[in-house]
């Protein structure tokens, strides 16, 4: 390999590839990124067993070839070089020579042949989504995926397209988040796939405010295409929980409340909690106001808030972190909360803005 490319672009491509790398791996090859020079392009790929992220940049390719190099080392070197042209060269022993202005580095590489790769995908279905919309959809749901669940489908989100309506759905046994969006550039067929939460988190860190993302599927894989970057990941097999049936049909109490004020009140009432396991807040819903209280060995907290109210008065308790997860990702100035009694789930919805449902189970208190 012998190429010349731009420092800023190479640095960005390495940063993207690094997101795929599991820093806990002890396998030297998987701490590396694959760099391939081919047909006027430099392709930089990071991989772990779940997904690969590859970015291609323009390069003057004097000699094609590829090599694996430690991602931290080459990342730090390229980032610290001046914003000008960088030359990369390899020899027969996989040494990588990096030259830029008055700086010269020689670092040890590994043969590219051994680097694992997710093979190419023949996309059956493809859908285009605005990047900002995609990012918000993920942000409002991904936190509700389960960590190492018994049922592996709960570690992922349902990506469901029906009649040009896209839903992202996550649930973990304590709460359910559903975010919908209308798709303009749709496909004829419906899609239903389960995407790992970890893949969506990686994707979100690559999304920008600029343009669209193209999402394609085959039966086992998903591929996200951005301008110069491609993410390929495995789908989770199995059937996702029928979430429609979990949504309550009616309610006995409903309030409308200022989103940020409710968030701040719950955050303050949660300040006494020192352990993530013990963080129960009690909400007393009265006519035109609610009181939020918490109580433990550190002391107690009381917060009062004006609300619009209809239905019956109610006392109900929640895990404060789960409650906050839902409301802090809602931009609408006001939210509605529907309660079905002290042992039934509550449903939080924005008053304005995109279609979003956050359902949360109460905690019993004595």
CA distance 86 to 6: 6
Which of 22, 23, 298, 312 is in the footprint of its own copies by CB under 8 A? Answer: 298
Nearer to its own copies by Cβ, of 158 and 262: the residue is 262
Token readout for 171 is 């649930």
Least separation in angstroms between residue 334's CB and its own copies is: 18
Least separation in angstroms between residue 102's CB and its own copies is: 4
Taking every pair of Cα atoms in the chain, the longest distance, rounded to a whole number of angstroms, is 79
* 275 Cβ neighbours under 8 A, 6+ residues apart: none
CA distance 266 to 52: 39
Least separation in angstroms between residue 271's CB and its own copies is: 5
Least separation in angstroms between residue 302's CB and its own copies is: 4
Token readout for 242 is 């029928």
Start-end of H helices in the chain = 7-18, 71-80, 131-139, 197-206, 259-269, 320-328
| 3-class DSSP assignment, residue 281 | strand
The stretch near its own copies (CB under 8 A) out of 33-41, 187-195, 263-271, 356-364 is 263-271
Binding flag, residue 301, its own copies (CB under 8 A)? yes
Least separation in angstroms between residue 197's CB and its own copies is: 29
What are the beta bridge partners of residue 339?
253, 346
Which of 10, 20, 53, 81 is in the footprint of its own copies by CB under 8 A? Answer: 81
Binding flag, residue 299, its own copies (CB under 8 A)? yes
Binding flag, residue 271, its own copies (CB under 8 A)? yes
Alpha carbons within 13 angstroms on the beta-carbon side of residue 180 total 11
Nearer to its own copies by Cβ, of 106 and 184: the residue is 106
Which of 36, 55, 70, 279 is in the footprint of its own copies by CB under 8 A? Answer: 70
Least separation in angstroms between residue 46's CB and its own copies is: 19
What stretch of H or E contains 321? helix 320-328
Question: Nearest to residue 119, comparing CAs of 9, 218, 30, 241?
Answer: 218
CA distance 199 to 204: 9
Least separation in angstroms between residue 293's CB and its own copies is: 9
Which of 151, 192, 300, 312 is in the footprint of its own copies by CB under 8 A? Answer: 300
- Per-residue x/- track, 325-344, its own copies (CB under 8 A): --------------------
| 3-class DSSP assignment, residue 325 | helix
Nearer to its own copies by Cβ, of 106 and 220: the residue is 106
| Contact set for its own copies, span 82-111 (CB under 8 A) | 95, 102-108
Q: How many residues bind its own copies (CB under 8 A)?
A: 29
Binding flag, residue 73, its own copies (CB under 8 A)? yes
Angle between helix 320-328 and helix 259-269 axes, rounded to 10 deg: 150
Q: Is there a contact between 87 and 7 (Cβ–Cβ < 8 Å)? A: no
Nearer to its own copies by Cβ, of 117 and 300: the residue is 300
Least separation in angstroms between residue 252's CB and its own copies is: 26
Q: Is there a contact between 97 and 88 (Cβ–Cβ < 8 Å)? A: yes
Token readout for 278 is 């013990």
Least separation in angstroms between residue 295's CB and its own copies is: 9
Nearer to its own copies by Cβ, of 302 and 365: the residue is 302
CA distance 232 to 234: 7
Q: Using CB under 8 A as the criterion, which residues of the chain lie in contact with its own copies when the complex forms?
A: 70, 73, 76-77, 80-81, 95, 102-108, 264-265, 267-268, 271-272, 297-305
């Amino acid at each position: 390999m012998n190429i010349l490319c731009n420092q800023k672009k190479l640095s960005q491509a390495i940063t993207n590839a690094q997101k795929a790398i599991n820093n806990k791996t002890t396998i030297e090859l998987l701490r590396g990124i694959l760099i391939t020079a081919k047909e006027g392009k430099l392709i930089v790929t990071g991989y772990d067993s779940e997904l690969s992220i590859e970015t291609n940049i323009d390069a003057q390719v004097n000699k094609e070839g590829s090599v694996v190099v430690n991602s931290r080392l080459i990342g730090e070197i390229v980032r610290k070089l001046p914003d000008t042209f960088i030359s990369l060269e390899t020899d027969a022993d996989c040494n990588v020579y990096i030259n830029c202005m008055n700086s010269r580095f020689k670092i040890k590489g590994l043969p590219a042949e051994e680097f694992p790769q997710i093979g190419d995908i023949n996309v059956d279905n493809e859908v285009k989504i605005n990047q900002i919309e995609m990012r918000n959809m993920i942000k409002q749901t991904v936190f509700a995926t389960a960590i190492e669940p018994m049922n592996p489908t709960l570690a992922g989100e349902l990506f469901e397209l029906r009649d040009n309506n896209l839903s992202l759905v996550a649930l973990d046994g304590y709460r359910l988040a559903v975010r919908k969006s209308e798709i303009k550039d749709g496909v004829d067929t419906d899609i239903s796939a389960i995407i790992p939460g970890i893949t969506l988190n990686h994707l979100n860190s690559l999304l920008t405010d600029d343009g669209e993302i193209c999402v394609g599927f085959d039966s086992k894989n998903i591929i996200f295409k951005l301008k110069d970057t491609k993410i390929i990941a495995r789908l989770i097999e199995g059937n996702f929980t029928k979430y429609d049936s979990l949504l309550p049909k009616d309610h006995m109490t409903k309030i409308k409340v200022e989103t940020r004020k409710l968030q701040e009140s719950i955050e303050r009432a949660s300040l006494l909690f020192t352990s993530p396991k013990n963080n129960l807040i009690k909400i007393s819903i009265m006519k035109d106001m609610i009181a939020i209280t918490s109580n433990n060995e550190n002391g107690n907290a009381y917060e009062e808030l004006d609300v619009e109210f209809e239905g019956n008065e109610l006392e109900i308790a929640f895990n404060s972190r789960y409650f906050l997860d839902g409301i802090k990702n809602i931009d609408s100035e006001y939210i509605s909360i529907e309660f079905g009694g002290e042992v039934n789930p509550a449903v939080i919805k924005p008053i304005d803005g995109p279609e979003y449902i956050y359902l949360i189970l109460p905690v019993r208190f004595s």
